[in-house]
Structure 1
Amino acid sequence: MDRVQEIFRGDRLIQDFGMKLIEGREGYAKVSVVVEDRFLNAHSIGHGVLLFAAADAAFALSVNAVVDAVGVQWSLNVFRAAKPGETVIGESRIIHKGRQSMVCELLVTAGDGRVLAKGQSTALPVSREAFAAGSGKKGG
């Protein structure tokens, strides 16, 4: 199975939020999610966590398409609100790929092209054995 598809299908939050994979390849990913009622905050706009989740899902797909990695830093500035019923699109592009870290540029837009948020994130390569050891599970 393609690495992007493997990560996409195996990520519980991506699945629980009903995200769709628009594009995914080594170093780049784009996902979408609809702003459903369950994602509205007390002001009846899309919750900031939904914008972050769209950006983070794309981030996870873009870096894990290259190597198994975990996110260790995020910075996301929100400029505009997501409206109920609209589609939010999260994009991530690797802008630095070193041996010990990767840095991504994040972009979150609305379906009509409005920029909702921009930021950066950093990932560290980690072996699958380290994931298994950290979770108390045996490797595999």
Structure 2
Amino acid sequence: MTPQDRAEKAGKAMWANDRASPWIGMQLGEVNEARARMTLHVQEHHCNGHGMCHGGVIFALADSAFAFACNSRNQNTVAQNNMITFVAPGQLGDVLNADAREVSLTGRSGIYDVRVTNQDGTLIAEMRGLSRAIKGQLFDEDI
């Protein structure tokens, strides 16, 4: 199995069991080894009292992209720590794109950066996620 085949199969397996991301309104884009992309069309129920996309929704989008990237090798992996910096507000009607990429993977620990941009390419937020591999796989495979 190629790394790309593994990443796609892992992404499909995770998406099939993910209840939170679709409920929020996210869509899974491409999943590659150590990378993933997710999108969210900002609707009224995503907005806070200021009429902007709620920071928790933006964080959830970044966190989900991070999760798909760090699980792309079919090794169950969870978040150990995440930190997000909001740069600009997401607005009602925006299409937010979260692009996650692996920065480092050493043993069971990984570092991932996630950029959240809108449909115009405006930077909305940047997140750094630290991952930790745990026992198990998303699908049966000898590794």
TM-score by length of 2: 0.86
Contact 1:9–1:15 (Cα < 8 Å) also in 2: no
**Once the two structures are aligned, what percentage of the paired residues are identical?**
23
Equivalent position of 2:69 in the other structure: 62
Equivalent position of 2:27 in the other structure: 20
Once the two structures are superposed, what CA deviation does each residue of 1:90-122 show, in whole Å capped at 9, x if it has no partner?
111011011120100111001110000112100
Match of 2:104 among 87, 92, 96: 96
Offset at 1:123?
Answer: 0.6
Offset at 1:53?
Answer: 1.0
Equivalent position of 2:9 in the other structure: 2
Aligned pair count reads 129
Q: Which letter maps to 2:126?
A: K
Cα distance in 2, alignment partners of residues 50 and 34 from structure 1: 11
Equivalent position of 1:86 in the other structure: 94
Cα distance in 1, alignment partners of residues 111 and 122 from structure 2: 24
Match of 1:50 among 50, 57, 72: 57
Offset at 1:9?
Answer: 2.5
Q: Which letter maps to 1:64?
A: N
Q: Over the residues paired in the alignment, what is the CA RMSD in angstroms? A: 1.4
Once the two structures are superposed, what CA deviation does each residue of 1:44-97 show, in whole Å capped at 9, x if it has no partner?
100001111111110000011122101010011001000101111111101101
Equivalent position of 1:133 in the other structure: none
Cα distance in 2, alignment partners of residues 39 and 120 from structure 1: 22
Offset at 1:19?
Answer: 1.1
Cα distance in 1, alignment partners of residues 78 and 29 from structure 2: 22
Equivalent position of 2:114 in the other structure: 106
TM-score by length of 1: 0.88
